Amino acid sequence: MTDIAPERPPQSTPLRAGTRFGRGFAFLLGGLPLCIVAFVLAVVGFSVGVSTSVIWIGVPILVLALQAARGLATVERRGAEWATGRPLPPHHYREPKGTGLGRLFSRLRDPQSWRDLLHAVVAFPVRLAAFIISVAWFVGGLGGALYVTWQWSLPRDDDDGGGLYWLLTGSRDLWGEITTNTVLGVFMLATSPLLVRGLVAVRAGLARGLLTNQTAALRARATQLESSRRAAVHAEAQTLRRIERDIHDGPQQRLVRLNMDLEAVTRRLDDNPEKARTLVEEALEQSREALNELRVVSRGIAPPILADRGLGAALAAAAARCPIEVSLDVAVPQGKRLAEAVENTAYFVVTESLTNVAKHSQASLCTVQVSTDAQRLLVQVRDNGVGGAHLGKGHGLAGLADRLATVEGVLDVVSPPGGPTVLTAEIPLAGVDS
């Protein structure tokens, strides 16, 4: 999966003046340790990586430096959004491809990772200056406003004294000095929120310029949607072929047999009524079996129980039909119905997984767990079979991956030889039409 953030249109969070100042000041204070760590890792990692790249040791060092810069960039993005109450534009990291050394070079070709590394260097003086200015201004203002409480502790000399008031007026009047420092301190304290807000805006602007790339994110999003569309078309074609095969192999054959029996009945009604009665009974049995098979096919498309009673009841019915023992745990809030596409996809994932387990796994127990949070529905199917399942093209699990891709879901399969097999499907709740 490509890393595109945020996937949904973000919402601004209005902040009160006091909250804005507190968050902004904390954000600027945290800039000192962050800038030191980021600068050292970026400079040392890049220098060592480039200097040793001729003997290939530098390649993994550069990758580690980029990964560290990526993590620190995430901290900066979250901090800027927290301090300002406004989301930053989206960013995009390319998905690494290949294995071994090729995968490392794939990570080195990610533009956003290099922008993160550049930000770690460029932001060092900005973060440092913002820390010094904000702390000096606020502490200086606080000290000036409280000057009357601690001025007595200052050493005084008749030949040299008076501080700022003496420099401004040439007088060494104590109360004038206190008044000047107090007024100046109150002014600095009063303007501290504006100063902090401006410094936060500078840091957030730098993050917006280097740590985001809306064009690349939108381009990747368009590619992802195009892939989802192709997966939806492929999944629909597979479903239609499966339904056609099931109808051809089951109900269609029985209906042909039923038609033949009825033709035989019409020929025997006059000359052999008893034989006709036997044929009628066989025809009735064929019609009942054809009806049952049509119901099985229809359950694979959209079972009525799913639409009428929800995902939990539908999965319980599917588990009861499975030829092996199934332990089912559905943790969906009572009385809450999920989007139709989400429920249909989850039902399809579970039923197809149970079918695969029954056919191929040689398992004696299968555990199905379904849970949900604010962002996703999580489906996990675990069996104690022989393992060896994978997402290779042409296998049944590839169809599950295509079906999940239609709702931008993700399928993960862990199935070492000897088992157990754990299939995990994540189905996003946001952006899926009801």
List the chain pLDDT tens, one digit each, 434 residues.
Answer: 444 444 444 455 667 777 888 999 999 999 999 999 999 999 999 999 998 888 888 889 999 999 999 999 999 999 999 999 888 888 888 888 777 778 888 888 889 999 999 999 999 999 999 999 999 999 988 988 888 887 777 776 555 444 555 555 545 567 777 788 888 889 999 999 999 999 999 999 999 999 988 776 677 666 666 666 666 666 666 666 666 676 666 676 767 777 777 777 777 766 777 777 777 777 777 777 777 767 666 655 566 777 778 888 888 888 888 888 989 998 877 667 888 888 888 888 888 888 888 888 888 899 999 988 878 889 999 998 888 877 765 556 777 777 787 777 888 888 888 878 899 999 888 655 44
> Which amino acid is it at 112?
Q
Are the C-beta atoms of 360 and 411 separated by less than 8 Å?
A: no
Q: How far apart are CA 422 and CA 314, in angstroms?
A: 21
> What pLDDT does 302 receive?
61
> What pLDDT does 46 receive?
93
> What pLDDT does 69 receive?
93
Q: How far apart are CA 317 and CA 146, in angstroms?
A: 75
301 burial class (0-12, 13-18, 19+ CB within 10 angstroms)? exposed
Tokens linked to 229: 């569309």
CATH code of domain 305-428: 3.30.565.10
Tokens linked to 53: 């790249």
Q: How far apart are CA 421 and CA 414, in angstroms?
A: 6
> What pLDDT does 105 receive?
86
Q: Which residues pair with 413 in a beta bridge?
A: 423
Per-domain residue ranges of the chain: 1-212, 250-301, 305-428
> What pLDDT does 1 receive?
41
- Check whether the bond before 420 is cis (ω within 30° of 0): yes
> What pLDDT does 164 receive?
54
In 3-state terms, what secondary structure has residue 43?
Answer: helix
Q: How far apart are CA 51 and CA 329, in angstroms?
A: 55
Task: Name the pairing type of β-strands 376-383 and 91-93.
Answer: unpaired
